[in-house]
Structure 1
Amino acid sequence: MDIEKAFEEAYEKASKTEKELAVDIKLLIYAFYKQATAGSVHQFNIPNNEDIIRAFKFNAWQQISHLSKEEAKIKYINLINSIDL
C-alpha cells in the first residue's frame, strides 16, 4: 500500500472515531497531521498566551517540525494504527 492511501485511510479512521483519547495522543495526532499536510511550523501564526489550546497545539507541532512531510505521514499512520479506535 502506498503512503498516500494509507495516510488517507488513517485520517478517515481517526476522524470517525468517537473514542475519547488522552490529550497527549490528541496532540501527537494533530502535530503529525499538520506536519504531514502543511509542513514546517514556521508557517503557523504563533498563538497569544490567552489561547492555551492553540499554544499546546503549536508546541506539539513545533516539537516534530524536524520531520519531513513523508516521515510525519508514516508516524501518523503508525500512531493511528496503534490505537484501538
Structure 2
Amino acid sequence: MDELDKKFEEAYQIASTTSIKLPPDVMLQFYAYYKQATKGNNYNLSVGASDELRNAFKLNAWFQLNHVSEKEAKKEYIKLVNKHLKNT
C-alpha cells in the first residue's frame, strides 16, 4: 500500500465515522470522489424504488467525475476530509 492509499484509507475512516451533519451537496461530493477513487468509471448502483431520486443525484455526482483518475479522486477525497472534518 503506497502513501496515497494510506492517506485515503485514513480519510475514509474519518469520514465514515463522523457524527457531523454535512450539507447534502458536500455529502454528494464525498460519495462521488469515493466511488471514483474505488470504482473508477464503473457506474453501478443498486437502485431501490424508494431511493430513485436519491440514487439519481448520487449517480449524477459520480458521473460528473468521469474525467478524474482514481488517483486524483483519492487526492480530492482527502482534501474534502481535511476541509470539512479534519479539525473536528
Corresponding position of 2:3? 2
Corresponding position of 2:23? 22
Identity of aligned residues (%): 43
Q: By how many angstroms is 1:40 displaced?
A: 0.6
Which residue identity is paired with 1:73?
K
Root-mean-square deviation (Å)? 2.1
Corresponding position of 2:82? 81
Gaps (5+ residues) in structure 2? none
Equivalents in 2 of 1:14, 1:71: separation in Å? Answer: 18
Equivalents in 2 of 1:15, 1:46: separation in Å? Answer: 20
State the 4+ residue runs in structure 1 displaced beyond 3 angstroms: 45-50
Gaps (5+ residues) in structure 1? none
Equivalents in 1 of 2:74, 2:7: separation in Å? Answer: 9
1:6-85 correspondence runs (5 A): 6-41=7-42, 43-45=43-45, 51-84=52-85, 85=88
Equivalents in 1 of 2:11, 2:41: separation in Å? Answer: 21
TM-score scaled by structure 2? 0.85
